[in-house]
A and B are shown apart, each in its own frame.
Chain A
Amino acid sequence: MPRYIINIRDIMLIIGGILNIIVGIFYGTAVTSILEGISAGSCFNGAYLFKSDMRKYGVIALIASIIISIAIIPNVLTEFEGLAMELVSIILKSLAVIPGEIKIIEVEVITEEE
């Protein structure tokens, strides 16, 4: 039976990056959209570096992403949904930075045999 490994940390980082992109597209100005893009890119880079067993660099990329996200917050203070998404994104990225084995679920897929 095929087994799939789902890495929760990767999912958290992907959701965090996607939230950054959504805030950049819908709630920011041109400048904040560029910053959100860089933040999302750093977040995806973090996930990629974790996958490539370069945890140290992955943490650096994620911290950069978190700092950029925090710097953007004053620009989205008036937009409630944008602010909420930005905060959720920061929380997800911060949780992914914390070391620990919270992250792996193994899923067994049962297929019907003919």
Chain B
Amino acid sequence: MRRILVNLIAIIAVTTVFTFLLNRIVDYYTGPKLVMEVHFNEEYYKPGDLIIIDVYVYSKEFLWGRTPLRGAVVAIQIVDPRGNTVFVFRNITDSLGRTEFKVRADKHWVSGEYTVYIVTPGYMTIKKFKVE
């Protein structure tokens, strides 16, 4: 009975470790090397509101976790619902991998869903926010 119990635990342990290690290897070598997080200060804005976009850039670790990427160039482009570019800027990340973009929602901005393209070499992400 004890031998069976040891075998059962061994089977679960080996399978779990095998799956986890291969998952990490596949993830590290196939996916993008960067991880980008984007935070907005609000979900909806009105004309005159200040839009603050926080961008965090991290590089992936081999087995687990991530480290902040310092000195990464991050460019941002905001496109209105009609497809016109309303804001373009670029910044460099600090030692925490963070950079901040501030833009005021102009009174001439049309209401609707705005698309934000955030780009750093090797990675791009698209986010959306609404102006009412």
Binding site for B on A (CB under 8 A): 17, 20-21, 24-26, 28-30, 33-34, 36-38, 40-42, 44-45, 48-49, 52, 54, 61
Q: Is the interface of B mostly helix, strand, loop or mixed?
A: helix
A26 to B29, CA, bound (A): 12
- The number of chain B residues with a CB under 8 A from chain A is 19
B contact residues vs A (CB 8 Å cutoff): 4, 7-8, 11-20, 22-24, 26-27, 64
For the residues of A in contact with B, the DSSP-based class is helix
Given contacts A21-B15, A41-B15, A48-B8, contact A34 B26 (CB under 8 A): no
Known: A25-B22, A25-B26, A26-B26. A34 touches B16 (CB 8 A): yes
Is B11's CB under 8 angstroms from A41's CB?
A: yes
* Chain A, residue nearest B17 (CB): A37
- In the complex, A42→B27 CA distance in Å? 24
A17 neighbours in B (Cβ, 8 Å): 15
Q: Closest CB of chain A to B20's CB: distance in Å?
A: 5
Chain B residues contacting A34 (CB-CB under 8 Å) are: 16, 19-20
- Whether B64 contacts A30 by the Cβ 8 Å rule is yes
Contact A25 B13 (CB under 8 A): no
* Docked-complex contact A30 and B13, CB < 8 angstroms: no
Closest chain B CB from A43 CB (angstroms): 9
A-B interface, 10 closest residue pairs, ranked by CB to CB distance from nearest = A37-B16, A41-B12, A33-B23, A37-B19, A41-B15, A24-B19, A25-B22, A40-B15, A45-B8, A33-B20
